[in-house]
Amino acid sequence: MPLIRFVREARDVECYPGENLREVALREGIALYGIKGVLGNCGGCGQCITCFVEVPEDTSAAALSPRTGVEDQKLRNRPPNWRLACQALVQESLVVLTRPQVGLQGKEAAFATALAEPLAAGPIAWPQPPQAGDEPDEPIASEQLAGEPEDAGYGAAPEPRASTTGD
């Protein structure tokens, strides 16, 4: 699976090929937004321009889906290696800087360090569903499920109760 190396957070996160970068970041608890985006973002519609990310300039063009028309319009005054996370689909492993608008001291060195350690190549195929003719799983014995002796199962007949009325 593609691996996203989040430089600011010093975290590697795996995702499926084609997953939306914003959704992966939010799912993993990555702080994608600055204060403006935290207070109000568009929810991934490409309208608020608060989900900026930066990728190193020599990142493969195939790592993310191509810029959308929304990005071409909204990012026209931003560096060419900035993206809107909500518009980008992850196709191959890459290095990402979240919130580039707030800066990162030693950014180039951080990128170099992040790129020095190899990333898993990605993409790999999605898991395949079982095919007709595949062997079913072995049945699990009831004693393995409950961890109790067979004669103490829930289907055992109850013990007769002693009478309290003196009959």
What beta strand segments (E) does the chain contain?
Answer: 3-6, 11-14, 19-20, 52-54, 82-84, 89-90, 94-98
Shortest Cβ 49–ligand FES spacing (Å): 5
Q: Which is nearer to ligand FES, 71 or 122 (CB)?
A: 71
* Geometric angle at alpha carbon 102, from 99 and 108, rounded to 5°: 80
Which residue is at the shortest CB distance from ligand FES? 86
Rounded Cα distance between 68 and 44, Å, is: 13
Q: Which is nearer to ligand FES, 16 or 82 (CB)?
A: 82
The residues that touch ligand FES, with contacts defined as CB under 6 A, are: 22, 41-42, 44-51, 84, 86
Shortest Cβ 154–ligand FES spacing (Å): 51
Please say whether the beta carbons of 30 and 13 come within 8 A. yes
Q: Which is nearer to ligand FES, 17 or 44 (CB)?
A: 44
Environment class of residue 38 by beta-carbon count within 10 Å: exposed (0-12), middle (13-18) or buried (19+)? exposed
Of 73, 113, 80, 70, the residue nearest 95 (C-alpha): 113
Q: Which is nearer to ligand FES, 41 or 91 (CB)?
A: 41
